[in-house]
A and B are shown apart, each in its own frame.
Chain A
Amino acid sequence: MKAFYRNMTAATMIAFVLLPFLVLIMWSFSTRWFYPQLYPAQWGLRAWQYVFGIAGSQIISGLIQSMLVALVTAMISVLIGVPAGRALGLYNFKGKDTISIILTLPVIVPPLCVAMGLHLWFLKLGLTETFGGVVLVHLTFCLPYSVFVMWGVFSNYNPDYEDQARSLGATSWKLITRVMLPLTLPGIMVAGLFSFLLSWSQYLSTLIIGGGRVTTLPILLFALMGSGDRPVAAAVSIVFVAPAFLALLFSAGYLGGRSITGVR
């Protein structure tokens, strides 16, 4: 029975994750591929030559832009998520339910509405078409996740560890760096990764707030797709997915139930 489930998992993985990738890779290496054919009629490196040649500098700057936005967003998201999650997970106070509803709002309300609404405000505040504005709008989508993850981590967190550490001579600062952070590190990694990936894949909000000036990779990707050149779009898609995929592999050890429940 166990083997059956394992095979099921493997089959699902292949069908829904690897197969689309396979098609993408095939597209990127094809030069001629028309409808009824199962394989490309002609293979070639044209798309990749384009990506690394003519469009190379554009794509690299998009990659850097995306990376910067996603890293800064993830960092701020964690910096706010950890104390917020700690407050929500460890202490009881008035308005806790209200906060959880407000936190879920950006997730429930369609992103388009959120981005459009914020656009008006950002216009007034002069935040449109700026790096900071894009980071801020990404944060509205990332923060709920990181706060909820850290909330979960801290509801399973035993504050006695901190009392013990204080009694053993730890000062407040060392309490945070030597006890709290290591104990919640798996959760922090998950919160950071969530935020990074969410920010990395934002298109609509970047387009609306960034106004085409903050050209992250998805913005470039959509522009290239619009031109109708499928092999090039496929190649750019792979370039787009690769860093996120690497980030996922890198933090694979931290994922899973252990990280959400925290270390006991």
Chain B
Amino acid sequence: MGELLMKNLTIRYGGAEVVSEFDLAVHDAEIVSLLGPSGAGKTTVLKAVAGLIRPQKGEIIIDGQSVQHLPPEKRNAVMVFQKSLLFPFMNVAQNIGFGLRMQGRHGREIRRQIDRILELTELTGLGQRKVHELSGGQQQRVSLARALVLKPAILLLDEPLSNLDANLRQQMRELIQDIQVETRITTLFVTHDQVEALMISHRVGLLLDGRLRQVGEPRELFYRPVDPDVARFFGGCNFIQGHVKNGMFRSEYGNAPAPAINGNGHLLTATIRPEDILITPESKYDLQGQVQKTNFEGSATRIWVQCKDTRFVILTSETGIFPGQKVGLHLPPDKIRIFPGGPESGEMI
């Protein structure tokens, strides 16, 4: 059982406000990612939950109990750091047993638990190894095992994969997912890697400049960002402006139905993902543009197209497009996402 509630957290570091009015709930057996660029205050939130930092304002509630006056060891929330931080003077099994021994437990009982957790984290047989004999991935798994063996109500993971290479990271993500499914441990996962956050979590919270900008299921943040900043974080780079009239968003690049928006006549901003724009070398579509630059990225090609006053970025699997070429563009109405707020001035790309 593990429920984490963060209410109106405000955390200052030497005068500067690092996290402001932060509200987030993590439900039992859920894995929620806190996503954001470095310096956004993600780790600060995690440390506040773990009890290593005291927030200036707000409340942290674990399983219905307010914990901000409890020391870290009484919180039932264990943090795993970015660096594995294994104690070099202990072997793997001793490292994993550290927390259990801190609880005053000894002997056969903890040995059995250590063995079980070694198996769960695919470290069977490595219990007697010295820490420096392990690879980076193994070290990180020991670090994870050291927290899991305590069966905390809340598991706090602070970018545990960011020091690993790409292949290993993918394996570790899957391992964390599998373990989470098996143990149903409530997890708050901090990362700056959007792919990681989208893949691993039930819900994602995007933190920009210390403020939680949007919380929701991965698809929701990706396809329905609430504002241009969120869209930009997820690689959105095409912003167009238009007016809403009679439930229809109209711009010079394309129209889209906007039944829920009632800002009649106001200038609004909309976005479309680079992979959603249709592009063709033939003059099939009404919208015409000239290719400025292409970048081959493997499974897709990124194409910059100047079209009227806007430069669109398009991601396509089409391969026969070259700089200088005239192309036709189409912005499918159902892929255009209109931001409910006012327009964003001066930030057109």
Q: Give chain A's interface residues, CB within 8 Å of chain B.
A: 158, 160-161, 163-171, 174, 178-179, 182-183, 185, 263-264
Which residues of the other chain, A, contact B119 by a CB distance below 8 angstroms?
none
Which residues of the other chain, A, contact B87 by a CB distance below 8 angstroms?
161, 179, 182-183
Q: Which of B71-79, B181-189, B225-233, B237-245 contacts A (4 or more CB under 8 A)?
A: B71-79
Q: How far is the CB of A61 from chain B (nearest CB, A)?
A: 40
Complex CA gap A171/B98 in Å reads 12
Asked if B103 contacts A169 (CB within 8 A), the reply is yes
Q: Give chain B's interface residues, CB within 8 Å of chain A.
A: 47, 50-52, 71-73, 77-79, 81, 83, 85, 87-89, 98-99, 102-103, 146-147, 150, 156
18 A–B contacts, CB within 8 A, in A order: A158-B83, A160-B83, A164-B85, A166-B51, A167-B78, A168-B146, A168-B147, A169-B72, A169-B99, A169-B102, A170-B73, A170-B102, A171-B102, A174-B102, A179-B87, A182-B87, A183-B88, A264-B88
Which residue from chain B places its CB closest to the CB of A185 in the assembled complex? B89
Complex CA gap A169/B47 in Å reads 14
Most buried by B among A166, A167, A169: A167
Q: CB within 8 A of B72: which of A167, A179, A185?
A: A167
Asked if A171 contacts B73 (CB within 8 A), the reply is yes
Q: Is the interface of A mostly helix, strand, loop or mixed?
A: helix
Which residues of the other chain, B, contact A167 by a CB distance below 8 angstroms?
50-52, 72, 77-79, 147, 156
Asked if A164 contacts B79 (CB within 8 A), the reply is yes
Which residues of the other chain, B, contact A182 by a CB distance below 8 angstroms?
87, 89
Most buried by A among B47, B79, B102: B102
Which residues of the other chain, A, contact B89 by a CB distance below 8 angstroms?
182-183, 185, 263
Q: CB within 8 A of A263: which of B77, B88, B147?
A: B88
Which residues of the other chain, A, contact B78 by a CB distance below 8 angstroms?
167-169
Most buried by B among A161, A164, A165, A185: A164
Which residue from chain A places its CB closest to the CB of B99 in the assembled complex? A168
Q: CB within 8 A of A158: which of B50, B73, B85?
A: B85
Complex CA gap A169/B87 in Å reads 15
Asked if A168 contacts B81 (CB within 8 A), the reply is no
9 nearest CB pairs, A to B: A168-B99, A169-B102, A167-B79, A169-B73, A166-B72, A164-B85, A182-B89, A167-B50, A170-B102
Asked if B88 contacts A168 (CB within 8 A), the reply is no
Asked if B88 contacts A165 (CB within 8 A), the reply is no
Which residue from chain A places its CB closest to the CB of B156 in the assembled complex? A167
Q: A163-B52, A163-B79 are in contact. List 4 more A-B contacts (CB 8 A).
A: A163-B81, A165-B98, A168-B98, A171-B71
Which residue from chain A places its CB closest to the CB of B102 in the assembled complex? A169
On whether A169 and B150 interact (CB within 8 A), knowing A163-B52, A174-B102, the answer reads yes
Complex CA gap A170/B103 in Å reads 8
Which residue from chain A places its CB closest to the CB of B90 in the assembled complex? A182
Complex CA gap A7/B336 in Å reads 77
On whether A164 and B102 interact (CB within 8 A), knowing A169-B150, A183-B87, A263-B88, the answer reads no
Most buried by B among A168, A183, A264: A168
Complex CA gap A28/B78 in Å reads 65
Which residues of the other chain, B, contact A263 by a CB distance below 8 angstroms?
88-89
Which residue from chain A places its CB closest to the CB of B143 in the assembled complex? A164
Which residue from chain A places its CB closest to the CB of B53 in the assembled complex? A163
Most buried by B among A161, A169, A174: A169
Asked if B102 contacts A168 (CB within 8 A), the reply is yes
Q: CB within 8 A of A168: which of B47, B71, B83, B150?
A: B150
Which residues of the other chain, B, contact A185 by a CB distance below 8 angstroms?
89
Complex CA gap A238/B150 in Å reads 56
Which residues of the other chain, A, contact B71 by a CB distance below 8 angstroms?
166, 171
Most buried by A among B47, B73, B78: B73
Q: How far is the CB of A138 from chain B (nearest CB, A)?
A: 31
Which residue from chain A places its CB closest to the CB of B147 in the assembled complex? A168
